[in-house]
Amino acid sequence: MANNRKIIMDCDPGHDDALAIILAASEMSPLKIEAITTVSGNVEVEKNTLNALKVCDVLDLEHTPVAKGADRPLIKQREVAEEIHGETGLDGPALPELPAKEPAEAHAVDVIIDKVLNSNHDVTLVATGPLTNVALAIKKEPGILSKIQEIVLMGGGTFGNWTPAAEFNIYVDAEAAKIVFDSGVPITMFGLDVTHQAIATRELMDRFGDIGNPVARFAADLLEFFLKTNEKVFGLEGGPIHDACTIAYLINPSLFDFEHVRIDIETKGEFTYGMTVADMSGVTGKQPNVKFARFLNRDGFWELFSDALKSYG
Ligand code: BDR
Ligand code: CA
């Protein structure tokens, strides 16, 4: 199991982002969530921020700061994924209209910079939405580069889900992704190749619901909506809980197999914008910049997830 780590969760909750937060905040997680920062992605950043605050309510994370970030990609038009996450970005579970706490006054980018600069090289950025905030933080304060322990992100893959070539998080802001992938910070990437090995089925959803505590019920309600939209839009038999892979890795890295590869982000292609071009056979001769997750121990992953839900009492 991994050692204790401080993490900042930069996200766009989002059903699978919420499931990642549930995993990170559970009793059996050694991780300390320093802050949750939000970005425009699955829906607009205002909605993603409200959702993050509501998730904090469900999980009793009253002391975890939630900071609102970028409301659009660096250059291109905003694009959202309402067909997957619903109009609120977190359709399905019954949640109160208004969260108990307010977002932090500081902008997400400044929260990231502040937490990293004041750390002891021990803050990991977990990015499960478009990489706009992370790129802005790098550009605003390059001094954070040498202090980030690792960027663990969900995005990309050797195939796409938003275009034939691109995965949603990278496609939404490929210019930001390019800044992050070229930054020199150690990157561990959970792309579609591996997140499509973490497909929650109805059977799993029922198993989680049967655990019976309110958080497990919340997770099952999230899955109920998420499974339906993934089945409808992508024709999958269930829903890949992409973002939760990042946290599962931080809790137990041995659940995954990795390869070190060079990945460049396509920002110019007519048909390939947002593609994570992976040099799997080493033809570029460039130094690898990414620890690329290839395989998941599925049984171990679901066991971890189920133990996390049980730990909520
Ligand atoms: C990614 O896109 C979002 O809809 C999910 O939350 C995940 O981060 C998967 O392509
Ligand atoms: Ca996400």
For ligand 1, pick from 134, 161, 168 the residue to mutate: most ligand atoms within 8 Å of CB. Answer: 168
CB of 48 shorter than 6 A to ligand 1: no
Instruction: Report which bound ligand comes closest to the CA of 194.
Output: 1
Write down the pLDDT at residue 2: 52
Q: Would you place residue 4 in the very low, low, confident or very high pLDDT band (cuts 50, 70, 90)?
A: confident
Distance in angstroms (rounded) separating the CA atoms of residues 10 and 65: 12
CATH number for the domain harbouring residue 175: 3.90.245.10
CB of 42 shorter than 6 A to ligand 1: yes
Q: SS3 string of 209-267?
A: HHHCCHHHHHHHHHHHHHHHHHHHHHCCCCEECCCHHHHHHHHCHHHEEEEEECEEECC
Residue 127 Cα to ligand 2 midpoint, Å, equals 8
User: Going by CA atoms, what residue is nearest to atom 4 of ligand 1?
Assistant: 42
- Tell me: pLDDT of 3 over 80: no
Instruction: Report which bound ligand comes closest to the CA of 52.
Output: 2
Number of domains in the chain: 1
- Tell me: pLDDT of 1 over 60: no
- H/E stretch holding 291: strand 290-296
Average pLDDT over residues 130-147: 98
Instruction: Report which bound ligand comes closest to the CA of 80.
Output: 1
| 200-239: pLDDT as tens digits | 999 999 999 999 999 999 999 999 999 999 999 999 999 9
Residue 283 Cα to ligand 2 midpoint, Å, equals 31
Average pLDDT over residues 64-88: 96
Burial zone of 304 (CB within 10 Å; 0-12 exposed, 13-18 middle, 19+ buried): buried
Write down the pLDDT at residue 121: 85
Instruction: Report which bound ligand comes closest to the CA of 196.
Output: 1
CB of 242 shorter than 6 A to ligand 1: yes
Residue 143 Cα to ligand 2 midpoint, Å, equals 27
CB of 154 shorter than 6 A to ligand 1: yes
The ligand 1 atom nearest the CA atom of 81 = 4
CB of 17 shorter than 6 A to ligand 1: yes
Write down the pLDDT at residue 184: 98
Residue 55 Cα to ligand 2 midpoint, Å, equals 14
User: Crossing angle for the helix pair 298-310 and 202-211, nearest 10 degrees?
Assistant: 30
Write down the pLDDT at residue 231: 95
Handedness of CA 180, 181, 185, 188 (dihedral sign): positive
Residue 285 Cα to ligand 2 midpoint, Å, equals 32
- Domain extent at residue 198: 5-310
Q: Would you place residue 122 in the very low, low, confident or very high pLDDT band (cuts 50, 70, 90)?
A: confident
Alpha helix (H) residue ranges in the chain: 15-25, 45-59, 82-85, 108-117, 132-140, 168-172, 174-181, 192-195, 202-211, 214-234, 244-251, 298-310
| 15-57: pLDDT as tens digits | 999 999 999 999 999 999 999 999 999 999 999 999 999 999 9
The ligand 1 atom nearest the CA atom of 240 = 9
Strands 148-154 and 199-200 turn out to be unpaired
Residue 163 Cα to ligand 1 midpoint, Å, equals 13
Write down the pLDDT at residue 140: 98
Q: Which of 159, 173, 163, 189 has the alpha carbon at shortest distance from 277? A: 159
**pLDDT averaged over every residue in the chain:** 96
Residue 196 appears among annotated catalytic residues:
no
Write down the pLDDT at residue 117: 97
- Tell me: pLDDT of 94 over 90: yes
User: Which of 15, 63, 242, 260 is flagged as catalytic?
Assistant: 242
For ligand 1, pick from 162, 243, 275, 276 the residue to mutate: most ligand atoms within 8 Å of CB. Answer: 243
For ligand 1, pick from 45, 91, 154, 159 the residue to mutate: most ligand atoms within 8 Å of CB. Answer: 154
Strands 290-296 and 256-261 turn out to be antiparallel
| 233-287: pLDDT as tens digits | 999 999 999 999 999 999 999 999 999 999 999 999 999 999 999 999 999 999 9
Average pLDDT over residues 107-128: 96
- Tell me: pLDDT of 155 over 90: yes
- Tell me: pLDDT of 135 over 60: yes
